[in-house]
Structure 1
């Protein structure tokens, strides 16, 4: 299979998989795929030539030279595909729900709270920034206080148990805030 055929297949595959509505609207999809593949091929040649020109010297050993040239060609191909094909974002799926599921919302909330706790741990205790954080995230204050404490005398299972209790209280406080 020659290079142009490979690019046509990559373009066809990407468009049919990720841009089905746009593909359906094309009057001649195959001509479009060939045209875009031609642009990609030209861009690969341009980038490869530039990379080759910037290469100070090629190795004298035949296999090393071929390896270097192949690497430059693959880098050029990757760049050209990123520029001309993969830069077109996929269409949203027709049955895709724009509203996240409750599980996705819970995961996002958890990630945001985890990041907030990390930020709070870096704040100076009693600083205006820390006081404002404590006001904004009251259900996380107990976790931060625990994290800042010294628990070297506890076993791992005791630490886990204490944190699990804190998490249960956080869930209850979060639920109360939502009501």
Structure 2
């Protein structure tokens, strides 16, 4: 399935209100599909160098590159398309608590993605720009904390999470 078909299908089935509000849905779908395609190529370039090995025969190399492309497409779709949660037709508007939980779940997935990125890479830099309120948590998780007791670790993480909550509240104002 072509990327634009995936974008169109997701919008029409999962985001009907958003789709209806678009002035030119096809143009929007095309632009988003192009962004996803570019992101796929960036990820493929990075992963292909790591995944292929000298001495692979042709079929092994094709299989490796097909796997890399599938992984890159999955990551790009998650990053650029599926980040928009589905609109639920029958349910009432989510409560503030439900919205907060959804945001926290999305951010948790984003932190997991960032942990897999090479520090200083273009994708890590872009992630840090996109999620500045989560950078402190990622840096803390990447650091060595063996000298701390469990209580000290919990306290530091609690303080980081409090600062994230304050940053979220400030952004919503």
TM-score (normalizing by structure 1): 0.49
Per-residue deviation, residues 102-159 of structure 1 (Å, max 9, x unmatched) = xxxxxxxxxxxxxxxxxxxxxxxxxxxxxxxxxxxxxxxxxxxxxxxxxxxxxxxxxx
Map residues 70-149 of structure 1 onto 2, 5 A cutoff.
70-93=66-89, 95-96=90-91
Answer yes or no: is 1:47 the counterpart of 2:33. no
Distance in 2 (CA, whole Å) between partners of 1:59 and 1:69 is 14
Aligned with residue 32 of structure 1, among 28, 31, 35? 28
Q: 2:14: which partner in 1?
A: 18
Query: What is the aligned partner in structure 1 of residue 65 from structure 2?
Result: 69
Is the alpha carbon distance of 1:58 and 1:43 closer, same or farther for their aligned partners in structure 2, counting shifts above 3 Å? farther
Report deviation, 1:59: 4.6
Q: SS in structure 1 opposite 2:56?
A: coil
Three-state SS of the structure 2 residue aligned to 1:17 is helix
Which aligned runs of 4 or more in structure 1 are off by greater than 3 angstroms? none
Q: Greater Rg, structure 1 or structure 2?
A: 1
Q: In the TM superposition, what is the alpha-carbon distance from 1:33 to its structure 2 partner?
A: 0.2
d(CA) in 1 for partners of 2:30 and 2:45? 22
Give the Cα separation in 2 of the matches to 1:98 and 1:31. 29
How far apart are 1:76 and its partner, in Å?
A: 0.4
Question: How far did residue 32 of structure 1 move?
Answer: 0.2
Following TM superposition, by how much is the alpha carbon of 1:96 offset from its aligned partner in structure 2, in angstroms? 2.4
Over 3 Å counting, the alpha-carbon distance change for 1:59 and 1:21 in structure 2 is: farther
**Secondary structure of 1:39's partner?**
helix
Q: Which runs of 5+ in 2 are unaligned?
A: 95-173
How far apart in 2 are the matches of 1:30 and 1:98?
A: 28
Superposed CA RMSD in Å reads 1.9
Tell me, which stretches of 5 or more residues in structure 1 are unaligned?
A: 100-179
Relative to structure 1, the CA distance from residue 17 to residue 48 in structure 2 (aligned partners, 3 Å threshold; closer, same or farther) is: same
- Please give the TM-score of this superposition, normalised by the length of structure 2: 0.51
| SS of corresponding position for 1:91 | coil
